[in-house]
Amino acid sequence: MRRIRTLPENDHNSGWLESLPSRPVKQRLQGDVKADCAIIGAGFCGLSIARRLAELRPDWKVVIIDAQKVGYGASGRSSGFVVDLTDAAALMPPAIRDGYVRLARAGIDGLRNLVREHNIDCAWDEKGWIRAYAGDKGQFYLDRLPPIYDELGYHYEPLDAAGMEAITGTSFYRAGIRLPGYPLIQSGALVLGMADCLPESIEIFEESPVTAFETGPPHRLISPRGSIEAEHLFIATNGYTPFLGYFQSRIFPLYTFGSLTRVLTADEQAALGGENEWGILAMDPMGSSVRRTRDQRLLIRNTIYHNNNLQVSEAKNREILANHRLAFEARFGKLGAIDFEYTWGGLMGSAKNSQLSFAELSKQVYSTAGFTAAGIAMGTAAGRVLVDFALGEDSQLVSDILALPKATWMPPNPFRSIGGSFMAERMNRQAGDTL
């Protein structure tokens, strides 16, 4: 029996989730349940696994179990940029890169179809988010993109400083590239919408941590008030996966943090100027992601942090808030002091080379994890493809995911944790005045 000592806590700080109407827990695991398949984790990846299982094995009893409320992992905390080409993927050899993009686009298409079919109200916006820079290093990285976009056949719109200011109302950025067709979302609303439109045959147990498990088959999951016995097990716990004892030498837990302001008044919106909804992913190393949301808040996301106990101290939270304030003032100082209504952290799974992990861990136990800060599309796609792989469905996407480079090996703890902290702090320092 594997015991899991470090568990996710129900953290209620995500601005995306907390700004939605409150939603009661539908069901906790009580008593002993038997199923054909159990999924641990109710984020983009776990929910995508469940949907694909319902397509391929409609007669199976499938249950999802999560320690937190649905979506309260990274999925309901993400900044909402739906990405198909990460910076790491852009540098891969073209044949592998194209496979990565096919996978991520399958994720985007799947999400778009769900949103349309089920009218999920998640501020889905395809005007296109922007890659932009404020410093010289950012310019160097942005200048590499157009030839890659040309090879991939993307439609993109270069923007100079004036063009950036016309959209965002701030003169902070020197240039950018807009990618029409790449969605921005309210990530909390999308992940909850995905859970709500699952076929009725799929049961979700929220606030039910798996505290121990034994693999079979049959596999047995233990939670404080009940247990699940299942023939098949999918582990969709992303950054938490090393705490379950898997991918420990490939994935390390990495936090990043977001803040949302209160809703801007009509006068503040007019003073800001520009378009009323947009998003910027920085090209500057460790530069902030910034958005003006549909409900007229400003988002700042920056800073990464590694630790091994799933806790962020008060001192760290104060440091994060100061970083968010600094980034806000550099861009939106003309608006004066506007409070952040929400500040939160979220745990991602990351590899040294930013590659995901995807494997059969033992007989009829499967997992994929390590989506770093691009898991909305890729977590969705990898979950679906994991089911195809597990059930022997051959497809181009299965070949694409198996062809991706492996996540870099890391030494065991304490070396991995010391290395992870060192790397995170070194990366944070790169931001400088482009934070």
Ligand X SMILES: Cc1cc2nc3c(=O)[nH]c(=O)nc-3n(C[C@H](O)[C@H](O)[C@H](O)COP(=O)(O)OP(=O)(O)OC[C@H]3O[C@@H](n4cnc5c(N)ncnc54)[C@H](O)[C@@H]3O)c2cc1C
What residue ranges bind ligand X (CB under 6 A)?
4, 7-8, 40-46, 65-68, 72-75, 77-81, 83, 209-210, 236-240, 256-258, 301, 346, 348, 371, 373-376, 379
Beta carbon nearer to ligand X, 4 or 120: 4
Pairing status of strand 31-40 against strand 62-65? parallel
Beta carbon nearer to ligand X, 168 or 256: 256
**3-state SS, residue 220:** strand
Beta carbon nearer to ligand X, 99 or 183: 183
Q: Measured between alpha carbons, how far is 157 from 79 in angstroms, rounded to an integer?
A: 22
Between the CA atoms of 95, 50, 371 and 108, what dihedral angle is there, to the nearest 10 degrees?
60
Least distance (Å) from ligand X to the CB of residue 44?
4
Please report, for residues 72, 155, 258, the alpha-carbon distance to residue 301 in angstroms, rounded to integers and kept in the order given. Answer: 17, 26, 4
Least distance (Å) from ligand X to the CB of residue 25?
13
Q: Measured between alpha carbons, how far is 132 from 142 in angstroms, rounded to an integer?
A: 7
Amino acid at residue number 412: P
Least distance (Å) from ligand X to the CB of residue 334?
26
Least distance (Å) from ligand X to the CB of residue 286?
13
Residue 106 near residue 401 (C-beta atoms within 8 A): no
Of 401, 378, 386, 362, the C-alpha closest to 49 is 386
Beta carbon nearer to ligand X, 300 or 335: 300
Task: Please report the beta strands in 8-141, taking only residues with DSSP state E, as ranges in sequence order.
Answer: 31-40, 62-65, 130-133
Burial class (CB in 10 A: 0-12, 13-18, 19+), 401: buried
Least distance (Å) from ligand X to the CB of residue 107?
9
Q: Measured between alpha carbons, how far is 163 from 174 in angstroms, rounded to an integer?
A: 9
| Straight-line distance from the first to the last Cα atom of the chain, in angstroms, rounded to the nearest whole number | 45
Beta carbon nearer to ligand X, 92 or 192: 192
Q: Which residue has the tokens 């910076």?
A: 87
Beta carbon nearer to ligand X, 81 or 247: 81
Beta carbon nearer to ligand X, 232 or 301: 301
Beta carbon nearer to ligand X, 64 or 142: 64
Least distance (Å) from ligand X to the CB of residue 16?
9
Q: Which residue has the tokens 């776990």?
A: 46
Residue with nearest beta carbon to ligand X: 375
Please report, for residues 1, 222, 242, 369, the alpha-carbon distance to residue 218 in angstroms, rounded to integers and kept in the order given. Answer: 13, 13, 22, 23
Least distance (Å) from ligand X to the CB of residue 419?
21
Q: Name the CA radius of gyration of the chain, rounded.
A: 21
Least distance (Å) from ligand X to the CB of residue 401?
14
Least distance (Å) from ligand X to the CB of residue 78?
3
Beta carbon nearer to ligand X, 4 or 351: 4
Q: Which residue has the tokens 């079979």?
A: 216
